[in-house]
Homo-oligomer: A and B are copies of this chain.
Amino acid sequence: MSQVKQHKIDLAESEMPTRWYNVLHDLPTPPPPPLHPGTGQPIGPDDLAPLFPMDLIMQEVSTDQYVDIPEEVLDVYRLWRPSPLFRAHRLEKALGTPARIYYKYEGVSPAGSHKPNTAVPQAYYNAKAGIKKLTTETGAGQWGTSLAFACAQFDLECEVWQVRASYDQKPYRRLMIETFGGVVHPSPSPLTAAGQKILAEHPDSPGSLGIAISEAVEVAAQDPTINYSLGSVLNHVLMHQTIIGEETLLQLAKIGETADLLVGCTGGGSNFGGLMFPFLREKWAGRMNPDVIAVEPAACPSLTQGTYAYDFGDTAGMTPLLKMHTLGHDFIPDPIHSGGLRYHGMSPLISHLYETGEIGAVAKQQNECFAAGVLFARTEGIVPAPEPTHALAVTIEEALRCKESGEEKVIVTALCGHGHLDLPAYGAYLSGSVTDTGWEDETLKAAVAEALTKLPALA
């Protein structure tokens, strides 16, 4: 038996998928439509025209199974795609698990996460439609960075409202957006009516994605040369992310593996949907039968604790009404370190899949997620963003269950970004100052602590 372990399953640029997958084509039952906030009737393409270019609107409502990726977009994708799929040999060894753990790593992108997968086509279609500027919201800052980079590729201006909690916690993100040429405001800001209203009531508001969306939408709606761009939640956004899952299927096929369990974190749902939708297609076609689990933060548990109802996507109530799992559009989550998961709602597509039993969901506290992140960093050499440590925590739990049962399960997890700009969060964790509210699971932390003492076994 060879001692040589392959860590990375690579695809050549020439093997990169050239079309996105539209899960709407294959859903066992159709999801409820978005409703107009004024009339309560299903919205049409014209209702979205003030904010989005027609190409994206048609993608939002399309039921075609695949959409070709424009060559201009593929050329930018190739700066970092296909992204690597890793076998986590050293993490497995530290855990002593018979499970085979794979992680699809999106941190190789310009922004350091999966977000450019949709930022680039959104910028492209807007530029093609003659738009001059895009506005957007950002939480942890990944999305704002991604859109700033994408706008630089297609000669668009980029203006970003960043949730104040993250703006204050993560100054490096703002500097990265500016390095790529974007402009950043903390949200709530005095620049919009929506922001002014919040500030009048809560001058110290930490902000939320819902508020930041209201601000960015307000500015875009007032000028025909300005459009708005959303980094998650919507159908077309999740569709752009399916290149993650399509690549992963090709990579697993290369080494003859089939996923038994897929785990991803969920904020708005785009990283999760991007990995899972192509696997669900394969499941519905009877070609494989993986379990699929969404992991959300205990401080913002829209799937596990929210209601499934029509709600606004933003705080001020400017967006169409979406049928989704929601904590209420005026919910402001604690300023946890996973800024990208602080969203009151959940993508209607993911909500529909959860409601129909196609996927499961669990919620995790911060400290157990950071424990998983530190173990992962010391074994695999990548410091994960706080968001995907939620998926890593569940992955590690499942791998430890396999250790007890002896099951050689194939687990695939979405490592949607690196944590280079989240190091103060790790500093807070290492110094013991990260606080969780409510229940806290000590089991995982103990198991991780034990694995950390076994690192010598790696040598």
Chain A residues at the B interface, C-beta cutoff of 8 Å: 3-8, 10, 12-14, 71-72, 74-76, 78-80, 90, 108-110, 112, 116, 124, 127, 149, 152-155, 171-172, 175-176, 178-181, 374, 377-383, 418, 420-421, 423-424, 426-427, 430, 455-456, 458-459
Q: Are A374 and B430 in contact (CB under 8 A)?
A: no
In the assembled complex, which residues on chain B have CB atoms less than 8 Å from the CB atom of A3?
71
Q: Are A155 and B456 in contact (CB under 8 A)?
A: yes
Bound-state Cα–Cα, A177 to B377, Å: 11
Residue from B8, B12, B74, B124 within 8 A of A78 (CB atoms): B8
Known interface pairs A378-B152, A458-B153, A459-B154. Does A179 touch B430 (Cβ–Cβ under 8 Å)? yes
In the assembled complex, which residues on chain B have CB atoms less than 8 Å from the CB atom of A458?
153-155
Q: Are A5 and B172 in contact (CB under 8 A)?
A: no
Bound-state Cα–Cα, A430 to B183, Å: 12
Known interface pairs A78-B7, A79-B380, A455-B155. Does A423 touch B71 (Cβ–Cβ under 8 Å)? no
Bound-state Cα–Cα, A179 to B179, Å: 26
Bound-state Cα–Cα, A112 to B153, Å: 24
Known interface pairs A5-B78, A127-B459, A455-B152. Does A383 touch B176 (Cβ–Cβ under 8 Å)? yes
Bound-state Cα–Cα, A76 to B152, Å: 36
Known interface pairs A179-B423, A382-B110, A423-B179. Does A7 touch B72 (Cβ–Cβ under 8 Å)? no
Report 22 cross-chain contacts, Cβ distance below 8 Å, ordered by A residue.
A5-B75, A6-B13, A7-B79, A10-B12, A76-B381, A90-B153, A110-B381, A152-B378, A152-B455, A153-B455, A154-B456, A155-B455, A155-B459, A171-B424, A172-B423, A175-B424, A175-B426, A176-B383, A178-B430, A179-B423, A181-B378, A418-B420
Task: Please indicate which of the listed interface residues A72, A381, A427 has the most CB atoms of chain B within 10 Å of its own CB.
Answer: A381
Q: What is the copy number of this chain in the assembly?
A: 2
In the assembled complex, which residues on chain B have CB atoms less than 8 Å from the CB atom of A8?
13, 78
Q: Are A377 and B153 in contact (CB under 8 A)?
A: no
- Chain B residue at minimum C-beta to C-beta distance from A76: B381
Bound-state Cα–Cα, A78 to B3, Å: 13
In the assembled complex, which residues on chain B have CB atoms less than 8 Å from the CB atom of A110?
381-382
- Chain B residue at minimum C-beta to C-beta distance from A381: B110
In the assembled complex, which residues on chain B have CB atoms less than 8 Å from the CB atom of A179?
374, 377-378, 383, 423, 426, 430
- Chain B residue at minimum C-beta to C-beta distance from A9: B13
Bound-state Cα–Cα, A5 to B16, Å: 13
Bound-state Cα–Cα, A303 to B286, Å: 66
In the assembled complex, which residues on chain B have CB atoms less than 8 Å from the CB atom of A116?
381
In the assembled complex, which residues on chain B have CB atoms less than 8 Å from the CB atom of A383?
176, 179
Q: Are A420 and B378 in contact (CB under 8 A)?
A: no
- Chain B residue at minimum C-beta to C-beta distance from A420: B420
In the assembled complex, which residues on chain B have CB atoms less than 8 Å from the CB atom of A127?
459
In the assembled complex, which residues on chain B have CB atoms less than 8 Å from the CB atom of A381?
76, 79-80, 109-110, 116, 149
Task: List 5 extra interface pairs beyond A124-B459, A179-B374, CB under 8 A.
Answer: A116-B381, A127-B459, A153-B458, A175-B423, A178-B427
